[in-house]
């Protein structure tokens, strides 16, 4: 017995341990799997976001650098145009009276004030040339009109930028800017040019840093590097095929490539943007290791969060599994007691969860089984008593069977007469059933028609309800439209006032521009540029005035149409109100009709129900008559058989008496079996 108890407890301990382990594993998986999936998606999303941020940052840097270069380009072109239009310079080139010293001084001042300008020079078609600083190293054989910067400017008749090249004297990358000079009759007087150093742009490029190791460089239209943080790469051709092919096919984009060297290989991400006017391409270059270092931090953070979550889940799961294990152990102990026949056991588990419900149901089950066994015990006692009475009754029945035999003969005669009368009643009942069936069919048609009318009435009521709702909504919308049109009319009036103000400002601006033109004319040559600006302002003011007058005409038309719309909306509101009243009256009329139809339908259904009951009664009557007829015939034949069976009954009664004695013995045995259970 002790061995069985020990085995039972070990089994319970093993099952509890298994349950605890399953709960722990399930809790870990429920947290670990979502955390793993979230970490994977977070890693991929972070990688995409970091690359997008790099692209955005790269293009922002390139836009800023492009703005610097374009401003550099625009300012130098403006200066060159100013030189080409200088009257004293034009007179000097025409061999008219001109002060060469003043021109040289102007060239010197310009170079001194612009550190990016290495040389500025003016060449005539006869190869005479003014240059600052002095370019004596060019020699007597140098012919300006045979140089590309001269010929390109003359041929294209506009400002020309050369490709970047390395200056032989300084070794610094420069670019030449040249422009033809024309006289009043558009005759060619010469060409003005300047050599610009790219050292300033190179300095900006060197200072730009992308990530930890990323950088920016610039290539020309031949993919020659003209600005780079590594000066040893200047004047060399870019040998990265992925970037070269991308630049060749598009003006702006991003490319991923791998750069291999003797040490290993680096995966990089490059973005580029082309400056169309110069043919240069700005390229930003970033090492993907910088992105991966950021991603490593994200992975570490996700791993740390996952570990913390798993530890928390293990602690929580262990706590709840221990609580759950205690509840399961109490239930198992109570069930074991019930299995051993103790129906007085109670599971003491007071909790409001499913285990509490399970314990409550177990206690109720044990109580029910205990009551059932008590009932069985009492029934076995009663069964013994009844079996004794049955034996005595069997003896009395045997004595009375002789009297029953004579009575059965008289019953047989009456049964024959009853069978004949039942046959006649069956025929009359069948005719009545046919007439009732006809009435039922007609009443069903009437009931179906009434239901169809009721359905139509319900649909009509619903339609009228929707129409009533839509009418109310329509009136609300019309009110809102009227308010909106009124507000629109007020806003249009406000716009008209603003236009009057703008018109007054335009007239005042026109007067100011006229005064500025007069003052510029008084200033002579020095005020010529200001006169042009004043003229443009005057034209702009006149254009603004014309535009405000056009807008004012449109506003007047809008106000006229707005007033017409207000009148129309008012008429529409009156019509909508009349329509709403009519809809409500129709709705009320249909409500009365619906009530009458419902009353008629209820009465028809009541009639149909009564007919259905009549049909049921008819069927029952017909069945009863058929049963009576059949029973009467059977009774007639059975009465004859009963006579013969009475004799057999006498012997059967003797057998019943013997069976009653055996039943009494079984009831005693059942009582002994029930005594084995603990019920009190």
* Six token digits for residue 184: 């009043």
How much is the pLDDT for 181? Answer: 92
The H-or-E segment that residue 194 falls in is: strand 188-197
How would you classify residue 223: left for phi > 0, otherwise alpha for psi between -120 and 50, otherwise beta?
Answer: left
Percent of the chain with pLDDT over 90: 7
- Angle among Cα 508, 514, 516 to the nearest 5 degrees reads 105
Count of CB atoms situated within 10 Å of the CB of 297? 11
Mapping DSSP onto H, E and C, the string for 141-152 reads: CCCHHHCHHHHH
Query: pLDDT tier at 490 (50, 70, 90 boundaries)?
Result: confident
For the record, the structure tokens of 496 come out as: 């008209």
Beta-carbon contacts of residue 494 (< 8 Å; ≥ 6 apart): none
Say if residue 318's pLDDT is above 80: no
Q: Is the pLDDT of residue 221 over 70?
A: yes
Question: What pLDDT shows up at residue 112?
Answer: 92
Domains of the chain are 56-290 (3.30.450.20), 358-673 (1.10.287.950)
Secondary structure, 3-state, 225-285: EEECCCHHHCCCECCCHHHHHHHHHCCEEEEEEEEECCCCEEEEEEEEEEECCCCEEEEEE
Exposure string of 197-224, with b = 16+ CB inside 10 Å and e = fewer, is bbbebbebbbebebbeebbbbbbbeebb
CB atoms within 10 A of CB 569: 18
- The model's confidence at residue 416, banded by pLDDT at 50, 70 and 90, is low
Please determine, for residue 647, whether its predicted confidence score (pLDDT) is greater than 70.
Answer: no
Contact, 482 vs 569, CB < 8 A?
yes
Q: Strands, E, within 23-167: which ranges?
A: 117-123, 129-132, 160-161, 165-166
User: Using 50, 70 and 90 to split pLDDT, how confident is the model at 229?
Assistant: confident
Burial class (CB in 10 A: 0-12, 13-18, 19+), 477: exposed
Q: Are strands 265-275 and 252-260 parallel, antiparallel or unpaired?
A: antiparallel
Determine contact, residues 279/220, Cβ cutoff 8 Å.
yes
How far, in Å, CA of 311 to CA of 317, rounded? 10
pLDDT at 600: 72
The most confident of 74-83, 227-236, 423-432, 638-647, by mean pLDDT: 74-83
Segment 394-420 shows an average pLDDT of 65
Query: For residue 428, which phi and psi values (nearest 5 degrees)?
Result: -65, -40
Query: Nearest Cα to 214, choosing from 270, 261, 173?
Result: 270
- Number of Cβ atoms within 10 Å of the Cβ of 47: 16
Query: What is residue 419's predicted lDDT score, i.e. its pLDDT?
Result: 64
Q: Which range scores top for mean pLDDT: 13-17, 110-114, 334-338?
A: 110-114
Q: Which token pair is 412?
A: 């047989």
For residue 190, which of 229, 145, 226, 158 has the smallest C-alpha distance? 145
177 close to 74: Cβ distance less than 8 angstroms:
no
Task: Quote the pLDDT of residue 632.
Answer: 62
> CB of 247 within 8 A of CB of 223?
yes
Asked whether residue 622 carries a pLDDT value surpassing 50, the answer given is yes
| Structure tokens that stand for 525 in this block | 């040559």
How far is the C-alpha of 267 from the C-alpha of 286, rounded, in Å? Answer: 9
What was the pLDDT predicted at 3?
Answer: 43
- Quote the tokens at residue 524: 């002579």
359 contacts: CB under 8 Å, gap ≥ 6: 327, 330, 331, 334, 347, 348, 349, 351
In the structure encoding, which two tokens stand for residue 247, read together?
């630049």
Q: What CA dihedral angle connects 423, 428, 431 and 435, to 10 degrees?
A: -140
Distances from the Cα of 653 to the Cαs of 306, 397, 399, 401, 648, in angstroms? 85, 7, 10, 10, 9
Residue 501 in tokens: 């103000």
Q: Taking residues 13-38, what's their average pLDDT?
A: 70
Give the number of other CB atoms < 10 A from CB of residue 663: 18
Angle subtended at Cα 351 by Cα 346 and Cα 354, rounded to the nearest 5 degrees: 95
**pTM given for the model:** 0.41
Separation between Cα atoms, residue 61 and residue 52, nearest integer Å:
14
pLDDT level of residue 2 (50, 70, 90 thresholds): very low
Answer whether residue 83 shows pLDDT above 80: yes
Half-sphere exposure (Cβ direction) of 214: Cα atoms closer than 13 Å: 23
Decide: 558 and 499 in contact? Cβ < 8 Å: no
Q: Are residues 252 and 273 in contact, defined by beta-carbon separation less than 8 angstroms?
A: yes
| Nearest-angstrom CA–CA distance, 321 and 327 | 10
Q: Tell me the CA distances in angstroms from 105 to 100, 131, 526, 640, one per residue in order.
A: 8, 11, 19, 159
- For residue 512, the model assigns a pLDDT of 76
pLDDT tens, position by position, 508-525: 777 777 777 777 777 767
> For position 47, what pLDDT does the model report?
66
- Asked if 191 and 93 count as a contact pair (C-beta separation under 8 A), the reply is no
d(CA 188, CA 180): 7
Task: Identify whether the C-beta of residue 447 lies closer than 8 Å to the C-beta of residue 610.
Answer: no
Q: Are 253 and 271 in contact (CB under 8 A)?
A: yes
Q: Which of 325, 599, 613, 595 is nearest to 443 (CA)?
A: 613
Identify the CA nearest to 343 among candidates 377, 375, 373: 373
Tell me the per-residue pLDDT of 523-565, one tens digit each, with 9 for 90 and over: 767 666 767 777 777 777 777 777 777 787 787 777 787 677 7
Contact 198, 171 (CB under 8 A): no
pLDDT for 399: 66
Per-residue pLDDT tens digits for 49-66: 666 777 777 788 888 888
DSSP 127: S
Q: Tally the C-alpha atoms within 13 A of residue 525's C-alpha that lie toward its C-beta.
A: 4
DSSP string, 527-548: GHHHHHHHHHHHHHHHHHHHHH
9 pLDDT band (50/70/90 cuts)?
very low
Give yes or no for residue 192 having a pLDDT over 90.
Answer: yes
Mean pLDDT of 11-17: 52
Q: Are 408 and 646 in contact (CB under 8 A)?
A: yes
Is residue 436 within 8 A of residue 618, CB to CB? The reply is yes
Find out whether 515 and 530 touch, Cβ atoms under 8 Å: no
Question: What does pLDDT average to over the chain?
Answer: 75
Segment 576-590 mean pLDDT: 72
Mean pLDDT of 609-627: 71
pLDDT reported for residue 679: 64
């Amino acid at each position: 017995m002790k061995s069985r108890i020990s085995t039972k407890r070990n089994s319970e301990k093993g099952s509890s341990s298994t349950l605890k382990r399953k709960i722990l594993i399930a809790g870990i998986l429920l947290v670990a799997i979502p955390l793993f999936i979230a970490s994977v998606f977070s890693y991929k999303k972070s990688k995409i976001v970091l690359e997008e941020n790099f692209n955005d940052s790269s293009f922002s840097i390139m836009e800023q650098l492009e703005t610097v270069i374009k401003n550099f380009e625009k300012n130098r072109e403006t200066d060159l145009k100013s030189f080409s239009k200088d009257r004293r310079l034009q007179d000097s080139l025409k061999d008219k009276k001109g002060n060469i010293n003043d021109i040289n001084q102007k060239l010197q001042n310009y170079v001194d004030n612009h550190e990016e300008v290495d040389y500025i020079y003016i060449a005539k078609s006869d190869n005479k040339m003014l240059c600052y600083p002095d370019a004596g190293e060019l020699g007597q054989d140098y012919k300006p009109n045979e140089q590309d910067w001269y010929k390109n400017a003359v041929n294209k008749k506009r400002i020309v930028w050369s490709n970047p090249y390395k200056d032989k004297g300084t070794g610094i990358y420069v670019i030449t800017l040249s422009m033809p000079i024309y006289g009043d009759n558009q005759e060619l007087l010469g060409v003005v040019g300047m050599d610009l150093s790219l050292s300033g742009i190179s300095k900006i490029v060197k200072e730009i840093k992308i990530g930890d190791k990323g950088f920016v460089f610039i290539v020309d239209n031949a993919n020659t590097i003209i600005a780079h943080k590594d000066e040893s790469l200047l004047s060399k051709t870019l040998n990265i095929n992925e970037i070269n092919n991308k630049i060749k096919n598009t003006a702006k984009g991003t490319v991923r490539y791998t750069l291999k060297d003797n040490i290993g290989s680096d995966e990089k991400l490059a973005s580029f943007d082309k400056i169309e006017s110069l043919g240069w391409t700005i390229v930003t270059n970033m090492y993907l290791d910088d992105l991966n270092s950021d991603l490593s931090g994200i992975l570490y953070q996700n791993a740390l969060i996952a570990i913390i979550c798993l530890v928390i889940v293990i602690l929580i799961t262990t706590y709840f599994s221990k609580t759950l294990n205690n509840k399961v152990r109490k239930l198992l102990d109570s069930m074991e007691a019930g299995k051993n026949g103790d129906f007085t056991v109670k599971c003491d588990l007071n909790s409001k969860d499913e285990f509490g419900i399970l314990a409550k149901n177990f206690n109720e089950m044990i109580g029910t089984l205990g009551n059932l066994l008590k009932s069985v015990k009492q029934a076995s006692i009663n069964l013994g008593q009844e079996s004794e009475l049955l034996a005595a009754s069997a003896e009395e029945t045997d004595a009375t069977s002789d009297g029953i035999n004579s009575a059965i003969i008289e019953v047989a005669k009456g049964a024959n007469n009853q069978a004949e009368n039942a046959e006649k009643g069956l025929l009359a009942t069948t005719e009545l059933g046919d007439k009732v069936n006809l009435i039922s069919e007609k009443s069903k048609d009437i009931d179906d028609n009434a239901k169809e009318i009721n359905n139509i009435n319900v649909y009509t009521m619903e339609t009228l309800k929707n129409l009533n709702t839509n009418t109310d909504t329509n009136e609300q919308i019309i009110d809102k439209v009227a308010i909106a049109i009124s507000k629109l009319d007020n806003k249009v009036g406000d716009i008209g006032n603003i236009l009057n103000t703008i018109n007054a400002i335009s007239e005042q601006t026109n007067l100011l521009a006229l005064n500025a033109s007069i003052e510029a004319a008084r200033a002579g040559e020095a005020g010529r540029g200001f006169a042009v600006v004043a003229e443009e302002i005057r034209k702009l003011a006149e254009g603004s005035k014309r535009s405000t007058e056009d807008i004012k005409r449109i506003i007047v038309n809008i106000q006229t149409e707005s007033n017409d719309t207000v009148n129309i909306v008012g008429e529409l509101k009156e019509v909508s109100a009349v329509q709403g009243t009519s809809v409500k009256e129709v709705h009320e009329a249909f409500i009365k009709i619906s009530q009458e139809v419902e009353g008629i339908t209820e009465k028809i259904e009541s009639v149909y129900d009564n007919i259905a009951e009549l049909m049921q009664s008819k069927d029952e009557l017909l069945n009863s008559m058929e049963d009576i007829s059949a029973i009467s015939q059977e009774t007639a034949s059975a009465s004859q058989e009963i006579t013969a069976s009475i004799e057999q009954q006498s012997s059967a009664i003797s057998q019943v008496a013997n069976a009653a004695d055996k039943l009494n013995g079984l009831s005693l045995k059942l009582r002994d079996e029930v005594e084995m259970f603990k019920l009190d």
